[in-house]
Amino acid sequence: MKKVYVLFLYIIILFLLTGCYSGLKSETAKGNQKQETKNIFYIKPDKTELQKLLYKAKKLIKTNLQLSLLKN
């Protein structure tokens, strides 16, 4: 009976160790993937471009809101 408990504990410890190892492996893979996807040639847009886009977005939201109110 004692051998069964020891075997059971051994199996549980083995599963925990393999689970932790696979978790660490996936975390390092995520870290490597983030480094690879970093874009070196990214150019920051000017503030004027951002302001224009923000204005267009606000205008679209306003028209969508008005249309949804008209439908109701």
Alpha-carbon torsion, ordered 7, 9, 15, 18, to 10 deg: -100
The total of structural domains in the chain comes to 1
pLDDT tens digits in sequence order for the chain, 72 residues long: 677 777 788 777 777 666 655 555 555 555 555 555 555 666 666 677 778 888 888 888 888 888 888 876
What pLDDT does residue 31 have? 56
DSSP string, 39-51: -TT--PPPHHHHH
Q: Which two tokens stand for residue 69?
A: 């109110």
The predicted pLDDT at position 66 comes to 82
Question: What pLDDT is attached to residue 62?
Answer: 84
Q: What is the pTM of this model?
A: 0.34
Q: Structural domain of residue 57, as residue ranges?
A: 2-71
Can you tell me whether residue 38 is helix, strand or coil? coil
Spatial distance between the Cα atoms of 8 and 45, rounded to a whole number of angstroms: 60
